[in-house]
Chains A and B, each alone.
Chain A
Amino acid sequence: MKKLINDPAEVVADALTGMAAVHPDMLTIHRNPDFIRRRNSPVAGKVALVSGGGSGHEPMHGGFVGIGMLDAACPGAVFTSPSANQIQAAAAAVATEAGVLFIVKNYTGDRLNFTMAAEWLADDGIPCEVVLVDDDVAVENSTHTAGRRGTGATVLVEKIAGAAAEQGRSLLAVAQLARRVNAGARSMGLALTSSTVPHVGSPNFVIGDAEVELGVGIHGEPGRRRIPHAPVKELVALLSEAVIGDLPFVAGDRVIAFTNGLGGTPLIELYIAAGELAACCAAHGLTVARSLAGSYITALEMAGCTITLLRVDDEMLELWDAPVTTAALRW
């Protein structure tokens, strides 16, 4: 597979060098251990938001570092959790007396490394809260699995909690809000193609030209089932039925509707999917209060999308609308 890389072993390092070159006004890049921090952080009196995870999901999380969102992001190797030591170093670099909030997608490796880093921070007297994001309805939450995965809701949690932290709210208040956002969000995705981890060199899984993987994970983990390819109207209807039925969202709910590209799907197709999602919401009596469409949580070059709905109240909407200046999200 052709990739715009120099050396598979240097993909993350080279990308960080590039981020430093493109966004010197917003970001500072630290190497060994690797983390991306908000320029001029720590911000006095503000709860520091730190996230991270495997690389390959860009712009998440480094693209969300900046005013109104994250203070630091830790990139692991592609599709591999950052280490606890790396997370601790990033948190220590941006921490204030107001404390540190970790926003963690619910994958075993991420959860363990962030939890461990949180314990170490607490040992050093830095107050720390961990919020898990687990919005993917494709994985049933049972005692037989590690639980639901974190996907699209991560962006919504980071934006809304980031705005709350920027207002100077307390660690506990920001953590509770972040948990409330996660609790009101549900997502599901589909893949049209697989993706190739640079240092592996071959696709994670194989999917036929006429097939769609329904409920795919953002690392190419298997989903609920494989179905014949169909018009996007039918595919988005399948995703939104699963998402709406799970919370469940009910007529009269106001939502943020987020259509996310997985890396290999052009914006023109995402707009079509977003339009179908809006239609599905309308058919269920949901009011789309705000929308977001674009590739924010990717799986390298995978074609496909995830859809996320978040039930919002006035407070969440006000925080969603608050100014944000990051590499990937700004208004």
Chain B
Amino acid sequence: MLLSHSDTIRWIQRYRDLIADNVDELNKLDAAIGDGDFGASMQRGLNAVVAVLGPGEPDSIGKLLHTVGTTLVSAMGGTSGPLVGTVFTKMARVVGDVDAVEASALVVAFRAAADGVGVLGGAERGDKTMLDSLLPAVEAMEAVVGGDHTLQTVLHSAAEAARTGAERTIELHARKGRASYVGSGGVGCIDPGATGMRYMFAALHDVVGEGIHYSEGTQ
């Protein structure tokens, strides 16, 4: 099974909805260690993205992902915009001008995304950032991709690893970003950035992995 152009659009729409459903939680997580606007920023960014996407627009998955990334950068701004946006702009470069993506190419694209976020933010695993859910998800996919595994099972492993990774940030001491200025380093708090990535993989799994028929009629 391939990830199609319309799957990609439904993924982003589902991501927008999951963030909207959890916006207060994300803001609360951020308030404990930052300035409390991460949920609102993500929601603003994804609303802007959904507004510029349409059926077949832009006309390849690579261009679509690039548009998602650059729109997130500008609409979210601040620190989180470039970091979250980079996930999509890096994927776009790997995927290229195609209208369907195989599981193996998708995993390579997510690896490029994780590496790109690491280079841009200067963070590593364990620094209590979005990488602490993004990297485990990439590694989980790399471990199962190929062989008999379907796109569904690959994305299931990613969603599970991202969820576990995000939850485990509660134990971590922040070494990057604003949480690093907090005296406790945010120990005892789940990282909002890692949680945002968790929802990104959950959305992809919802749409493709389980074949959920997502309503396209929402605003």
Establish whether residues B73 and A83, one from each chain, have CB atoms under 8 Å apart when the complex forms: yes
Indicate whether A116 sits within 8 Å of B85 (C-beta atoms), given known contacts A108-B177, A144-B175, A145-B180: yes
In the assembled complex, the Cα of A108 lies from the Cα of B81 at a distance in Å of 12
Establish whether residues A116 and B78, one from each chain, have CB atoms under 8 Å apart when the complex forms: no
Establish whether residues A84 and B181, one from each chain, have CB atoms under 8 Å apart when the complex forms: no
Q: Which of B46-98 contact A (CB under 8 A)?
A: 70, 73-74, 77-79, 81-83, 85-86
In the assembled complex, the Cα of A188 lies from the Cα of B178 at a distance in Å of 20
Indicate whether A144 sits within 8 Å of B79 (C-beta atoms), given known contacts A83-B74, A112-B120, A115-B120: no
Q: Mark A77-90, 1 if CB is under 8 A from B, else 0.
A: 00011011110000
In the assembled complex, the Cα of A109 lies from the Cα of B83 at a distance in Å of 10
In the assembled complex, the Cα of A84 lies from the Cα of B77 at a distance in Å of 8
Say if the beta carbon of B176 comes within 8 Å of chain A. Answer: yes
A217's nearest neighbour on chain B, judged by CB, is: B181
Establish whether residues B74 and A85, one from each chain, have CB atoms under 8 Å apart when the complex forms: yes
Establish whether residues B70 and A146, one from each chain, have CB atoms under 8 Å apart when the complex forms: no
In the assembled complex, the Cα of A146 lies from the Cα of B173 at a distance in Å of 13
Say if the beta carbon of B121 comes within 8 Å of chain A. Answer: yes
In the assembled complex, the Cα of A206 lies from the Cα of B176 at a distance in Å of 26
Indicate whether A83 sits within 8 Å of B79 (C-beta atoms), given known contacts A143-B175, A146-B176: no
A110's nearest neighbour on chain B, judged by CB, is: B79
Establish whether residues A113 and B175, one from each chain, have CB atoms under 8 Å apart when the complex forms: no
Collect the chain A residues with CB atoms within 8 Å of residue B120's CB: 112, 115-116
Say if the beta carbon of B209 comes within 8 Å of chain A. Answer: no
Establish whether residues A81 and B77, one from each chain, have CB atoms under 8 Å apart when the complex forms: yes
B181's nearest neighbour on chain A, judged by CB, is: A145
Collect the chain A residues with CB atoms within 8 Å of residue B79's CB: 81, 108-109, 112
B12 to chain A, nearest CB (A): 19
Say if the beta carbon of A211 comes within 8 Å of chain B. Answer: no
Establish whether residues B82 and A116, one from each chain, have CB atoms under 8 Å apart when the complex forms: yes
Collect the chain B residues with CB atoms within 8 Å of residue A145's CB: 175, 180-181
Establish whether residues B78 and A84, one from each chain, have CB atoms under 8 Å apart when the complex forms: no
Say if the beta carbon of A221 comes within 8 Å of chain B. Answer: yes
Say if the beta carbon of B185 comes within 8 Å of chain A. Answer: yes
A215 to chain B, nearest CB (A): 13
Collect the chain B residues with CB atoms within 8 Å of residue A86's CB: 74
Tell me which of A81, A85, A112, A113 contacts B70 (CB under 8 A).
Answer: A85
Collect the chain A residues with CB atoms within 8 Å of residue B177's CB: 108, 146
Collect the chain B residues with CB atoms within 8 Å of residue A146's CB: 176-177, 180-181
A119 to chain B, nearest CB (A): 8
Collect the chain B residues with CB atoms within 8 Å of residue A116's CB: 73, 82, 85-86, 120
Establish whether residues A84 and B82, one from each chain, have CB atoms under 8 Å apart when the complex forms: yes
Q: Which of A93-114 contact B (CB under 8 A)?
A: 108-109, 112-113
Q: Which of A54-89 contact B (CB under 8 A)?
A: 76, 80-81, 83-86
Collect the chain B residues with CB atoms within 8 Å of residue A113's CB: 73, 77, 81-82
Q: Mark B167-208, 1 if CB is under 8 A from A, else 0.
A: 000000101111011000100000000000000000000000
Collect the chain B residues with CB atoms within 8 Å of residue A109's CB: 77-79
Collect the chain A residues with CB atoms within 8 Å of residue B86's CB: 116
A124 to chain B, nearest CB (A): 13
Q: Which of B18-54 contact A (CB under 8 A)?
A: none
**Sample of 15 further A-B pairs with CB below 8 A, known A80-B77, A84-B82, A144-B180:** A76-B77, A81-B77, A81-B79, A83-B74, A84-B81, A85-B74, A108-B176, A109-B79, A112-B120, A113-B77, A116-B86, A143-B175, A145-B175, A145-B180, A146-B181
A residues in contact (CB < 8 Å) with B = 76, 80-81, 83-86, 108-109, 112-113, 115-116, 143-146, 221
B residues in contact (CB < 8 Å) with A = 70, 73-74, 77-79, 81-83, 85-86, 120-121, 173, 175-178, 180-181, 185
In the A-B complex, the 3 residue pairs with the smallest Cβ-Cβ separation, listed nearest first, are: A112-B82, A85-B74, A109-B79
Q: List 27 A-B contacts (CB under 8 A).
A: A81-B77, A83-B74, A83-B81, A84-B73, A84-B81, A84-B85, A85-B74, A108-B79, A108-B121, A109-B77, A109-B78, A112-B79, A112-B83, A112-B120, A112-B121, A113-B77, A113-B82, A115-B82, A116-B73, A116-B85, A116-B86, A144-B185, A145-B180, A145-B181, A146-B180, A146-B181, A221-B181
